Each structure stands twice: as structure tokens, then as C-alpha cells.
Amino acid sequence: MDTILQLIHKEKTRQQQTIRLIASENYVSESILTALGSFLTNKYSEGYALNRYYEGQEYIDAIELQAIQDAKTLFGAEYVNVQAYSGSPANLAVYLATLKPGDTLLGLDLSSGGHLTHGSKVSISGKWFNAISYGLHPDTMRIDYEQLEQRAHEHSPKVIISGLSAYPREIDFERIGAIAHSVGALHLADISHISGLVATGEHPHPFPHADIMTTTTHKILRGPRGALIMTNTPTLAKKIDKAVFPGIQGGPHMNNVAGIAIALQEALTPEYTDYTKQVKANTQALAEALMQKGYDLVTGGSDNHLVLVDLRSKNINGDIFSKQLMRAHIETNKNAIPFDTLGTPQKPNGIRLGTPAVTTLGMQELEMRQIAHYIDQVYQAGDSMETLNQIKTEVIEFMNQFKL
């Protein structure tokens, strides 16, 4: 049986040989890997910087304060909490700080591109709270802001959530903020998927239209698994701190916080701005190449880092196609398609593709057209293992041009 270290090495090789198109995945720098595997793993740091419950925090405090300052600079926030373990706990902390069980929240429906933590009935956000959803307009497949406003006035939510998990267009944070404040609700903007685009001006910023902003620190931000919670309202800041600790968790993972600090510093460089511009350019190139090959895309394109492929015209579901693509070393994820009454969560009729990871490796528009060609080759191959193996060999040779 393989040892854990052998399995880690095999995973590294798999990543090197695979075109990674999962929109929520990326590669971290060697500096971040060093931080994650450092002696910080040994330290318990319950509490906040300069106010801990354990001794020996001199360097820990300096790391956390640096991460906070860099996040403030990058996102234009007056308050930042860097301790949440990941995006879902960060959103849960916001709910703990602002809601009571049974209170009403309003978020983008999961099948319309929202996230589980935005009120899905299978999530704690939909079990503990009265979760109402808004969706997309059936004609445009864009967020139906009129429906959002109507439901906000009808249900009087205490929190309205904006954000996306599989929505390929810009979000009008200003309009959602105006709707929220017109009904006395707080506006929570979850920018986990687009944080890097927001930070570099490639997507409209939630502030000052959002009261609270959350983001994961992996995905397009290229950091370790963690999260940031931000606000410019001092009274909310105090509630959020108490909700994170001691509300839902104990000591922070300081190796992660150090990795987050490094990722934030990397994101403050001009090179990172160039990266986010290329992510958008690559997404548009991939979208155009797929449409030229006859693939239907939800909304007909993308404004951000992802495309959502509607496979219904191809007579194959996302579960089968994503597995066929994986046999050829092309990594994607199956995904629901809005207004699809035939698909199921286990067998949806779409796949989601994202460009952050391949862009980190240095790929540009030419490579996106090649990737679209590989995707179509896999579709044409069907169940032919011989053909899929031939494509896999080509993909591995293609990926050998780009080093982790």
C-alpha cells in the first residue's frame, strides 16, 4: 500500500499532467507551500492578535497583523478578519453575527449559479434560516433584479446575499445594495470566485454598496484554503470577530494565515493585475472556441473567469462527460443548468469550466483554442477508450510545456 508521501507525490504528477479547468482550483507559489509546511503548524493561537489566550505569540501576532493590513490595502476595507477556516465557515460566521435562527435571508438560487451557503435547503443556511431565493430571467439567463426586488419587499429579509459559484456574468452590486437597504436588510457580497477580479478592477467592487464582504483565499486569489471577512462598519466588525471566535471556531490555523498573507502580497503586485486580465481574456477565448465548435454556453459567453456549458443539445449529461474528459486528463466538474427540469444534482446537464489555474501556468488565448479542441475530441470519441487514451497522451505532452 502506498504511503501518504507517495500519494502526495502521485498527486503532484497528476496535477502536472492534467489540464485543470475547475473554476475554484489554482496553484499556490512555492513561498505559500513553505508557509503551509512550516513550524507555524505547531502553534496554537486562540484569540486575536495582541489579545491571545496562550503565550508565545510575538511572531504569530506580527503575521496576522500583516495579513490584515495587506487585505485592507488590496480590497479597500477598514476591517478584516483573516481567521475563518474557509468560505463556508466565513459565511456562517456572518449569519451568526447578523441573524437569529428563523430569520429570513435572500440569496441567489443554487441552480441559478449561487452557492450552497446562500440559502440552499441542504445547507445549514437553509435549515436554520428562512431562506428565500432569487434567480435568473428565463429570456436572458441573467440575474432577475426585478424578481430580487419584488421578493425583498415581499419577504423583508434581514440579509440579502450577492455572489456566485457558477454564474458567468458581472453582478450589479450597486443595484443589489440599493434593494437591500430599501427594505432595511444588510447586503452580504460573497466574492469568493471573483475576488482577484474585484481587487484589480476587472469586476465592479461591492464596496460601498455591500455592508459585509466575504471571500475565500484560494480560487483566483491563489492562496491556501482560508477566508476573509470584511466590512467598513465598526459595529459589524465587533460582531463578526465574536462570531468567528469564540462563536464557531477555536484557534486559527496560523500556517494558513501566513500563506494568506503571502498570497495577498503577491496579489498587490502589477504581475497579479496582468494575471487577472489574462484570466478574463482566456475565458473569452475558450468560450468563443467552444461556441464555434457548436457548444451552447449559458448566457452565450462570460464576463469573468468561468463558462457554463449546456450539454442538452449534445445528448450527454455532465456526469458522463466530465468523467470522459477526466480519462483524457482534462479536469472539470459537472454542474446544473438553470431552468433544466430533466437534470438532477447527480446527473446535471452541464459542466463548469474555469481558466484561473491554466492561466497561472502561463497559458494564453492560443492554448485556450487548443483546449477547446481537446474537449471536442473527447466528445467525438464517446466511449472509445483507445481514442481517449490517444487524447490523454497528447494532453500530457501539451501539459509538459508548462511547469507547476
* pLDDT value of position 404: 82
As a whole number of angstroms, the distance between CA 108 and CA 137 comes to 12
Edge to edge, what strands does the sheet with 333-335 contain?
A: 296-297, 306-310, 350-354, 333-335
∠ CA 110-225-245, nearest 5°, is 90
**Residue 257 shares a structural domain with residue 291:** no
pTM exceeds cut of 0.95: yes
Task: Tell me the three state secondary structure of residue 315.
Answer: coil
CATH number of the domain to which 315 belongs: 3.90.1150.10
46 is catalytic: yes
Residue 190 included in any domain: yes
Residue 30 included in any domain: no
Q: Determine which one of 43, 52, 142, 225 is catalytic.
A: 225
As a whole number of angstroms, the distance between CA 61 and CA 49 comes to 5
78 is catalytic: no
∠ CA 246-244-68, nearest 5°, is 125
Summary mean pLDDT of the chain: 97
pLDDT at 357 over 80: yes
44 is catalytic: yes
**Torsion sign, CA atoms 110, 344, 101, 250:** negative
As a whole number of angstroms, the distance between CA 266 and CA 8 comes to 25
As a whole number of angstroms, the distance between CA 403 and CA 294 comes to 32
| Contact criterion met (CB below 8 Å) for 19 and 370 | no
pLDDT at 1 over 80: no
Reported as a pLDDT band with limits 50, 70 and 90, residue 363 is: very high
Q: Determine which one of 214, 216, 217, 231 is catalytic.
A: 216
CATH number of the domain to which 172 belongs: 3.40.640.10
Nearest Cα to Cα of residue 223 among 71, 13, 344: 71
pLDDT at 136 over 80: yes
**Residue 259 shares a structural domain with residue 280:** no
| Contact criterion met (CB below 8 Å) for 270 and 354 | no
53 is catalytic: no
Domain boundary among 239, 267, 295: 267
Nearest Cα to Cα of residue 315 among 352, 353, 351, 349: 349
**Residue 104 shares a structural domain with residue 79:** yes
| Contact criterion met (CB below 8 Å) for 72 and 268 | no
List, for residues 64-100, the tens digit of each pLDDT value: 999 999 999 999 999 999 999 999 999 999 999 999 9
**Residue 108 shares a structural domain with residue 247:** yes
Residue 5 included in any domain: no
* pLDDT value of position 291: 98
* pLDDT value of position 110: 95
As a whole number of angstroms, the distance between CA 212 and CA 191 comes to 11
Q: Determine which one of 70, 144, 190, 303 is catalytic.
A: 190
**Residue 53 shares a structural domain with residue 97:** yes
As a whole number of angstroms, the distance between CA 334 and CA 345 comes to 9
The DSSP result for 238-249, as a single string, is: HHHHHIIIIII-
**Residue 155 shares a structural domain with residue 139:** yes
Q: Determine which one of 27, 34, 43, 44 is catalytic.
A: 44
Residue 55 included in any domain: yes
Domain interval for residue 395: 11-25+273-399
Reported as a pLDDT band with limits 50, 70 and 90, residue 2 is: confident
**Residue 243 shares a structural domain with residue 304:** no
As a whole number of angstroms, the distance between CA 98 and CA 236 comes to 8
Residue 4 included in any domain: no
Take residue 324 and report the three cell numbers written for it. 470522459
As a whole number of angstroms, the distance between CA 18 and CA 399 comes to 7
Residue 31 included in any domain: no
**Residue 113 shares a structural domain with residue 147:** yes
Q: Determine which one of 151, 219, 239, 334 is catalytic.
A: 219
* pLDDT value of position 403: 87
Number of domains in the chain: 2
Q: Determine which one of 27, 43, 46, 53 is catalytic.
A: 46
Cα separations (Å) of 353 from 24, 65, 216, 325, 350?
9, 36, 19, 12, 10
Domain boundary among 243, 267, 291: 267
Q: Exposed, middle or buried, 341 (CB in 10 Å: 0-12/13-18/19+)?
A: exposed
**Residue 209 shares a structural domain with residue 69:** yes
**Residue 290 shares a structural domain with residue 379:** yes
pLDDT at 374 over 90: yes
The residues, any chain, with a CB within 8 Å of residue 181's CB and separated by 6 or more, are: 187
* pLDDT value of position 19: 98
Residue 6 included in any domain: no
**Residue 116 shares a structural domain with residue 202:** yes
**Residue 386 shares a structural domain with residue 352:** yes
Reported as a pLDDT band with limits 50, 70 and 90, residue 362 is: very high
**Phi, psi of 108, deg, nearest 5:** -65, 130
List, for residues 236-294, the tens digit of each pLDDT value: 999 999 999 999 999 999 999 999 999 999 999 999 999 999 999 999 999 999 999 99
Domain boundary among 267, 289, 309: 267
Can you tell me the mean pLDDT for 202-230?
98
216 is catalytic: yes
Residue 54 included in any domain: yes
Interhelix angle 365-381/318-327, nearest 10 degrees? 110
